[in-house]
Amino acid sequence: MEKIKMSTPIVEMDGDEMTRILWKMIKDELILPFVDLKTEYYDLGLEHRDATADQVTRDAAEATKRLGVAVKCATITPNKQRMSEYNLHEMWKSPNGTIRSILDGTVFRAPITIPTIKPVVKNWEKPITIARHAYGDVYKSVEIRVEEAGTAKLVFEGESGKREEVEIHRFKGPGVLQGMHNVDKSIKSFAHSCFKYAIDTKQDVWFSTKDTISKKYDGQFRAIFDEVFAEYKEEFERLGITYFYTLIDDAVARVIRSKGGYIWACKNYDGDVMSDMVSTAFGSLAMMTSVLVSPEGNYEYEAAHGTVTRHYYKYLAGEETSTNPMATIFAWTGAFRKRGEKDNLPELQRFADLLEQACLDTLNEGIATKDLVGLMEGITPQQVNSLDFIRAIRTRLEKKL
Ligand code: NAP
Ligand code: MG
């Protein structure tokens, strides 16, 4: 078979620990034999980030802006313990945070679903994608512990000399205070990313806030979404998809009663909480995909899980591991499909579809990694190690190609 051709490279960001091991297995078994792979390779493994004073992470993000499509392996976010483990020069920031701040995007998380793993919510038939706004609100707030009686005020001093002041509360005794903010620019790019992703995946968008209570703050989120949607309305109508706004509490009730199959856009805190709820209800962290979409239409695909450290130490000790590569494989297929779409390469898009289908066939035949074996219903699963799982996918992929 002749290998599938690519024209523009994908930005490839390698990573750490068990996912770095899986990364190589996936490339060797499922990609390199079939695709004439073109990537711009950046080693985001912690040693190389440390050796380059984290420049490699910034370069990889800049390359994503230039080339438009990236695929990323999970990476360690250093903490104190990692400082000594890797003898680091500095406690480097989370690569995902660095990349997100350079690309200025929204993260979309969607589960890979299969018939033998039933969501906890019985009526969910299709995946629910959470789009979390990743700037501001309580994550950038300032706080005061009030110790005595007194008056708290919210003050804005404009560069023009304009001054606005409102009383927050007259404390009769001790209490707490918090000040938070957001900016129109970030809310706008959040809205653009959501509508672009909806068009890409042909799904409805639900957006929820508490604008009945927070009339100016959440009201501004709602107003910006309405304004930005005007630019996408025609395309939505053409595709038969809709934009729907509702209050957050109403959204929660509707999500539970729904069949799934839409994008739920959430403010920062709501997205933090709801994405953990939705992903847990769908089954396994190892089956959760993640993509960062920038307002300019650049895409970075990855798995939602981390580097699976516990399995890595077993692997280093020579023990057999059964780590699930699904979300990492789907990061690659997401990148191939997008690259194929941008460069008009139908063969590459078809390869992405067939590889995903081969993965799903393997699971549907009951061949699975350890994390899924206990979740499967109506089938007697056969537990395999990571490499055998990937090889079982390869056999099915070869037949399809
Ligand atoms: P994790 O790597 O997601 O793993 C947590 C646990 O979830 C694992 O121990 C394992 O459970 C299960 N799990 C996750 N992915 C799995 C898979 N593919 N197959 C099978 N089981 C899987 O989270 P963590 O242990 O909290 O973090 C480890 C490192 O990853 C940290 O250094 C953190 O900074 C980094 N991290 C990176 C990213 C990213 O790059 N996007 C995201 C999160 C965390 P069992 O051990 O019970 O089998
Ligand atoms: Mg959280």
- Identify the structural domains of the chain with CATH numbers, from first to last: 1-109+288-401 (3.40.718.10), 118-136+183-282 (no CATH), 142-179 (no CATH)
* Confidence at residue 276, expressed as pLDDT on a 0 to 100 scale: 83
Region 348-368 average pLDDT = 97
Q: What is the pLDDT of residues 70-122, one digit of tens each?
A: 999 999 999 999 999 999 999 999 999 899 888 887 899 999 999 999 899 99
Ligand 1 site residues (CB inside 6 A) read: 74-77, 96, 285-286, 302, 305-310, 323-324, 371
Please report which confidence band the pLDDT of residue 140 belongs to, taking 50, 70 and 90 as the band edges: confident
134 band by pLDDT with thresholds 50, 70 and 90? confident
Query: Where are the extended beta strands (E) located within 173-325?
Result: 175-179, 204-209, 243-247, 262-266, 288-293, 299-303
In the reported structure, the alpha carbon of residue 210 is separated from the centroid of ligand 2 by a whole-number distance in angstroms of 20
Instruction: Check whether 36 has a pLDDT greater than 90.
Output: yes
Residue nearest to atom 30 of ligand 1 (CA): 306
Among protein residues, the one with the nearest Cα to ligand 1's atom 33 is 76
Question: In whole angstroms, what is the distance from residue 21 CA to residue 328 CA?
Answer: 11
Q: How confident is the model at residue 47 (pLDDT cuts 50, 70, 90)?
A: very high
- Determine the pLDDT at residue 33: 98
- Which secondary structure element, helix H or strand E, spans residue 170, and what is its range? strand 163-171
> Looking at the predicted structure, is the pLDDT value of residue 385 above 80?
yes
Rounded to an integer, the average pLDDT of 215-230 is 98
Distance 178 CA to ligand 1 centre (A): 33
Q: Binning pLDDT at 50, 70 and 90, where does residue 289 land?
A: very high
Check pLDDT > 90 for residue 272: no
User: Is the per-residue pLDDT at 152 higher than 80?
Assistant: yes
pLDDT score of 1 more than 80: no
Specify the pLDDT at position 208.
97
Q: Please determine, for residue 361, whether its predicted confidence score (pLDDT) is greater than 90.
A: yes
Mean pLDDT of all residues in 334-340: 98
Average pLDDT over every residue of 25-54: 98
Q: Are 50 and 88 in contact (CB under 8 A)?
A: yes
Output the pLDDT for position 291: 94
For residue 275, pLDDT beyond 90 = no
Q: How far apart are CA 307 and CA 82, in angstroms?
A: 13
pLDDT > 90 in the chain, percent: 89
Residue nearest to atom 16 of ligand 1 (CA): 286
Which pLDDT score is estimated for 104? 80
User: b/e map of 322-332 (b: 16 or more CB within 10 Å)?
Assistant: bbbbbbbbbbb
pLDDT band at 279 (very low <50, low <70, confident <90, very high): confident
Mean pLDDT of 25-43: 98
Query: Residue 311: its pLDDT value, please?
Result: 97
The token pair that represents 39 in the structure block = 């990537």
Distance 152 CA to ligand 2 centre (A): 31
Q: Stretch 315-331: mean pLDDT, rounded?
A: 96
Place of tokens 């438009």: 68
β-bridge mates for residue 24, sequence order:
none
Torsion, Cα of 197, 199, 205, 210 (10° steps): 60
Long-range contacts of 97-100 (CB under 8 A, 24+ apart): 98/54, 98/57, 98/58, 98/61, 99/57, 99/60, 99/61, 99/64, 99/72, 99/292, 99/300, 100/134, 100/292
Residue nearest to atom 10 of ligand 1 (CA): 308
pTM comes to 0.90
Environment of ion ligand 2 (residues, CB < 5 A): 272
Q: What is the pLDDT of residue 284?
A: 82
pLDDT at 139 over 90: no
Contact 147, 176 (CB under 8 A): no
